[in-house]
Structures are given as structure tokens and as C-alpha cells.
Amino acid sequence: MKKITLSICALSTLALTACTDPAYVAGSSEERDAYRQTKGGAVLGGIIGAGLAVATDNNALAGAAIGAGAGALIGNELDKQEAELRAQLDEDVRIENTGDRLILTMPQDILFDVDSFAVNASLKDDLAKVARSLDAYPDTTVQVLGHTDNTGAASYNQTLSERRANAVADVLLDNGVAFGRIQAIGRGEDQPIASNLDEEGRRQNRRVEIVILPNA
């Protein structure tokens, strides 16, 4: 019981430090973001490590330390990959680093012609660069998620989103990404990020997301 109590206290201190560390208010916005992502990964890793250690009746504090180190390493790797992708990809591709994954969002209007699921030739070069990045960071799983607006029948939109997700996944596979790393999923019109009541919102909802998830 004492070991568990000590571990919880240690994790509480680590989490409090992450929230109050002066580095959160110093430096550029990019530096603050990078610090938050790396520190967040370390805290999350510590919590996971402690939980696993308690569950297996091992030293929870040692588990927390190992988990924190692993979380920080994951955060650093994501930061590096994000910076490289930003330097290589077209500005139309939005990149979000949440600290535990990278999300690349590609508008379907530039990926596909209307009602088509053939990837435009102009975007294949960007997808090839993404594939090379995935090969350089092999310890990840990749989800390719197709999304549509709500124009037309829901069943049609679901099928179209699946075909477009598969089309993007095929380009990644053709450029050397291992088959076992990629999951192609169609979300149809179920996960909008903007209103479908106007054209701009519908344009944002028509998208393909490439989610890069570090393996545990």
C-alpha cells in the first residue's frame, strides 16, 4: 500500500510540475507548444507506467519513471516528424500534433474531382512524401479516414468516403508503406468539423485525414 501511495504522490507532483513549469509562459508560441506536447507525453507515459506496475504488483514508481521516459521519447519523435512534414508538404495540407498523434488533413476538393475516388495526380507527390516520412518513422500505425459533407444520400456518402480512404491508402502502399500498418476507414457524413448549412462548411467537411499513431 505504501508503494502505491508513494507512486500516486510522485505522479501528482509530475502532473503539477507540467502545469506550473515556467517554460509554459516563456519562449515563442511554437516552443511552448513543443514543450507542452513533450511534457504531456511524459506525464501520460508516467501515469500509464504506474498503472501497469501496480497491476502487476511491481514497483509503481519505477514503472512511472519508465513510462515517463517512453512518453517523452514519443513526444520528441512526433515533434521531429511534424517539423519535417511541414517543411515538405503543400500548405493546403493541415498538420495537427496533439502530443500523442499527428493528424494530416487533406481537403477532398484538392484530392479528388467531384464524385470521383481517383486521387488527383497533383496530390500524389505529397502523398509520396508522407509515405517516405512513414518509412522513416516505422513504429507507428496509420489510419486513413474518409469524410464527406451531408449532400446526397447517407449511404452514398458512406460508400464514397470508404472508396476515397482506400484510394489514399493505396497510394501510400504503392510508395512502400507496409500493408499491415494502414487502416482505411470511411466515416461518411457522421463526423463533420463545420456546419453543413453553407458551402464553406461543407468544403471543410469533405476531407481525408491521415492519423499517425505511435505504437505502444
The answer as to whether 139 is a domain residue is: yes
The answer as to whether 106 is a domain residue is: yes
Beta carbons within 10 angstroms of residue 3's beta carbon: 15
Residues 124-143 have a mean pLDDT of 96
Alpha-carbon span 36 to 155, nearest angstrom? 41
pLDDT higher than 90, residue 83:
yes
Task: Provide the number of structural domains found in the chain.
Answer: 1
CB-based contact 118:170 (threshold 8 Å): no
pLDDT band at residue 60 using 50, 70 and 90 as cut-offs: low
The confidence score (pLDDT) of residue 3 equals 44
The confidence score (pLDDT) of residue 145 equals 98
CATH code of the domain covering residue 146: 3.30.1330.60
The confidence score (pLDDT) of residue 61 equals 54
Alpha-carbon span 93 to 152, nearest angstrom? 26
DSSP at 100: S
pLDDT higher than 80, residue 204:
yes
The answer as to whether 173 is a domain residue is: yes
The answer as to whether 61 is a domain residue is: no
Alpha-carbon span 159 to 86, nearest angstrom? 31
pLDDT higher than 90, residue 7:
no
How much of the chain exceeds pLDDT 90, in percent? Answer: 59
The answer as to whether 27 is a domain residue is: no
pLDDT band at residue 74 using 50, 70 and 90 as cut-offs: confident
Q: Which structural domain, as residue segments, surrounds residue 162? A: 67-214
pLDDT band at residue 56 using 50, 70 and 90 as cut-offs: low
Contacts of 86 (CB under 8 A, 6+ apart): 95
The confidence score (pLDDT) of residue 41 equals 52
The answer as to whether 19 is a domain residue is: no
The answer as to whether 60 is a domain residue is: no
The confidence score (pLDDT) of residue 10 equals 45
pLDDT higher than 70, residue 146:
yes
Element (H, E) at 148: none
CB-based contact 12:43 (threshold 8 Å): no
Q: Taking the model in full, what pTM does it have?
A: 0.69
pLDDT higher than 90, residue 104:
yes
The answer as to whether 160 is a domain residue is: yes
Q: What is the separation, in whole angstroms, between the first and last Cα of the chain?
A: 28
Residues 193-203 have a mean pLDDT of 95
The confidence score (pLDDT) of residue 58 equals 58
How much of the chain exceeds pLDDT 70, in percent? Answer: 67
Residues 104-123 have a mean pLDDT of 91
